[in-house]
Amino acid sequence: MTDSPENLQTAPAPTNVNAPTASSTPSISPISNVDGVPDDVLLKLTGIKKSYDQTEVLADINLNIKHGEFLTLLGPSGCGKTTLLRLIAGFEQPTAGAIYLDGVQMAGLPADKRPVNTVFQQYALFPHMTVAQNVAYGLKLKKVPKDEIQTRVRDMLAMVQLEHLANRKPQDLSGGQQQRVAIARAVINRPKLLLLDEPLSALDYKLRLQMQSELKRLQRELGITFVFVTHDQEEALSMSDRIAVMKDGTFQQIGTPIEIYETPANLFTARFIGETNLFKAEVKGVYPDQTDRDGRLTNGRIEVEVCEAQAQEGPTTLRNLRCPDFANGVKVGDIVNLLLRPEDLRIYEPDDNNHAGLLGRVIESNYKGSTLDSIIELHNGHIIKASEFFDEDDPSFDYKLNEAVKVSWVDGWEWVLPNDGSIDSDVHDDVNTHDDINSNPNSGTVQKDMS
């Protein structure tokens, strides 16, 4: 028999106090309005701080989120992203600062009075209810007429492509189907804002990729603002309109996925997002701004010598780069970092005189289908990774272990970052061991909002 949402008889109310309850759009007068906020801003966070037992876990958070935006809070475990989500939801109150939702100050307003719903890491579906009854639960709490409930449940199940499973119980569904039920239950109440706390983490890799596309499709169709929490960089890059990278309770950078990946604000963001090769370089020349042929002022150029090249025999080649936009600029003798992604690097024969580069040997080579990924040890011991598109017309396209190679790149493909020792010394440990929030939230922070 085909399942149907028509059978929505009243189920006994659950006694689990931890079970989610539906949010209803509150009919309240604004406690205070925000002056000068653009009409496209739905959520405004101003000076948010949160402390537990004298330990500050969020420090001076400021953020505007637009209507219909998909924004991701991204960072390692303990960075404060879930705490920030709980403050927005109303499960906790900030130590300082203000949260405005559509011009209404949310201070002191409990979670069930905010026009916000949350999808949790554990979906917390009611096991004794059918899919349709789970989705309808919030509408019943609001005493919506039965005919309207049936119509809205039917429409919502069709949107999440579960109408044929309306009378199934949650335990009879796959993980991806359970997630869609949880989302349907949250959005059927028509919240202004949907919060998602790592909802894909319990799914296997293939299903997680599928649900990333599903979530983005649903967000576009519903037109609801999504705030998504994850520590998975790939999820953040593939799904978000903007990403807010967090570390130690502060924003390191806010920007589009392209901005975050291609132009990271600091070494932490550079290493946390994607795979990274970093090369030290010494500034050998600084040339002032010049006008181009159209009379526009350029940012000038710098010449650098890559420090890894100093371990090689023979003359080294200076690289001519765009002058970076550091706060204090650069001068001759400064050490800077050149960021290059694996796909930016090119591999040549070691005796290729047409390309200046760094000499090394291949210590690992992995065929990935569309790419060939090579791990290379340079002469000074620096380990780097290069990723090249596989050449199907050249079946011998591969490298032998310990094969000598030369690594180079096109000037202009690198991203130049300052040599901030405080970040450089601990960023690798942060990414891999997820330092807890007890460290100083302001150490080594470079805030950059590219919105």
Of 41-50, 163-172, 209-218, 229-238, give the lowest mean pLDDT range.
209-218
Residue 395: per-residue pLDDT:
61
Which CATH class, in words, describes the domain spanning 41-262? alpha beta
10 has pLDDT over 50: no
CATH number of 267-419: 2.40.50.140
Question: 384 or 431: which carries more pLDDT confidence?
Answer: 384
129 has pLDDT over 90: yes
The two domains 41-262 and 267-419 share their CATH topology (first three levels equal)? no
> Which two tokens mark 394?
């050249």
431 has pLDDT over 70: no
Nearest to 304 by CA among 274, 284, 287: 284
Average pLDDT taken over every residue of the chain: 82
Residue 194: per-residue pLDDT:
93
Residue 207: per-residue pLDDT:
78
Q: Are 74 and 245 in contact (CB under 8 A)?
A: yes
Question: 396 or 302: which carries more pLDDT confidence?
Answer: 302
Of 272-276, 299-303, 343-347, give the lowest mean pLDDT range.
299-303
- The percentage of residues in the chain with a pLDDT greater than 90, rounded to a whole number, is 49
Mean pLDDT of 179-204: 87
Highest mean pLDDT among 7-16, 68-77, 211-220: 68-77
Angle between helices 205-222 and 146-159 (to 10 degrees): 130
Mean pLDDT of 282-289: 86
450 has pLDDT over 60: no
Give the pLDDT confidence of 399-418 residue by residue, as tens digits: 889 999 999 999 889 999 99
Provide the residue ranges of all domains of the chain, joining segments of one domain with +. Answer: 41-262, 267-419
60 has pLDDT over 60: yes
Of 15-19, 74-78, 284-288, 334-338, give the lowest mean pLDDT range.
15-19
Give the pLDDT confidence of 15-58 residue by residue, as tens digits: 333 333 433 333 333 444 555 566 789 999 999 999 998 899 99
Q: Strands of 104-105's sheet, edge to edge?
A: 55-66, 41-52, 96-101, 104-105
Residue 301: per-residue pLDDT:
86
Q: Is 147 exposed, middle or buried (0-12, 13-18, 19+ CB in 10 A)?
A: exposed
Residue 137: per-residue pLDDT:
92
Of 112-121, 144-153, 332-341, give the lowest mean pLDDT range.
112-121
Distance set, CA 351 to CA 75, 277, 360, 405 (Å): 43, 23, 12, 8
Angle between helices 205-222 and 175-187 (to 10 degrees): 20
Residue 161: per-residue pLDDT:
85
Distance CA(261)–CA(252), nearest Å, equals 13
Residue 248: per-residue pLDDT:
95
